[in-house]
Amino acid sequence: MLELDQHLRAHLPKENTFDWLMTVEGKVHRAVKNRRTVEFEVAGRRYFIKAHRGVGWREVLKNVLYGRAPIVSAEPEWRAIEQLNAAGVATPGIAGKGLRGAAPANLESFIVMPALEGMISLEDLTSDWRGAMGVNRVQLKRALLQRIADTARRMHGAGLNHRDFYLCHFLVRDRDWPKRKKGDEADLTLIDLHRVQRREQVPQRWLVKDLGGLLFSALNAGLTRRDLLRFIAAYRQQPLREVLAREGNFWRQIWNNAVKLYRPFHHREPSLSL
């Protein structure tokens, strides 16, 4: 199987296209085991490719024995992107995808995505925003909380959990932030989707892991207790009092998960407390 967008079809070699993409030269951003991520350019447009080679039967069996679904191709990522887009979550587009082979241990595959130009991660944006945003910081923080909660609700409602749900995997278009006016769009794009799990319904323990990871990554971003409550209400889209009366233990589990991650990473307690 090989699918490419119009630009790639017009400018890539007509023969051995699959092999050309699997071995494309460019800036290597990551190379682990049987997978590599490469930034490359075709006729003036920049792309990222995640190329997967066969993982071998040992890796497949090891994951099966531990009760995990082995990642043997790029297909789970493009399926996740398609399902997230259908749920209204913005992701990198798919410019190309390919899969060949039959045995799961020997599959070769790739996904090609257009490079996202002029973007900044929320981790980078919030690392120094107390001084950089001026009077806009509170407005921006509240707008981003709403959008993050909306992304999480849509993703989980579609039966998907991210497994690496951190601020660094949210991108927003960079701009002159101190000049941002109330109401200016700050739309988010969710990235790094190769470990997304798909089910009819996300089990509670994976909701806790996703939301706990997200909170862990945001604990140094100047959050207040009121911000956390706003997020909870936006995530559930229900009156806060009702949510906490019904799900108090669930949200305490999320807090405990975040603190459990925070302590060994930062070697201290978070400044925020419930």
Q: Which of 5, 124, 164, 227 is catalytic?
A: 164
Q: Which residues contact 114 (CB under 8 A, 6 or more apart)?
A: 45, 46, 47, 48, 92, 93, 95
184 is catalytic: no
Q: Which residues contact 41 (CB under 8 A, 6 or more apart)?
A: 26, 47
Burial of 183 (0-12, 13-18, 19+ CB in 10 A): exposed
Q: Could you tell me which of 160, 251, 244 has the C-alpha nearest to residue 208? A: 251
Pinpoint the alpha helices (H) of the chain: 6-11, 17-22, 57-65, 75-86, 122-127, 129-132, 136-157, 204-218, 225-236, 240-266
Between the alpha carbon of residue 2 and those of residues 8, 16, 32, 97, the distances in Å are 12, 11, 24, 6
Give catalytic residues, as residue numbers: 164
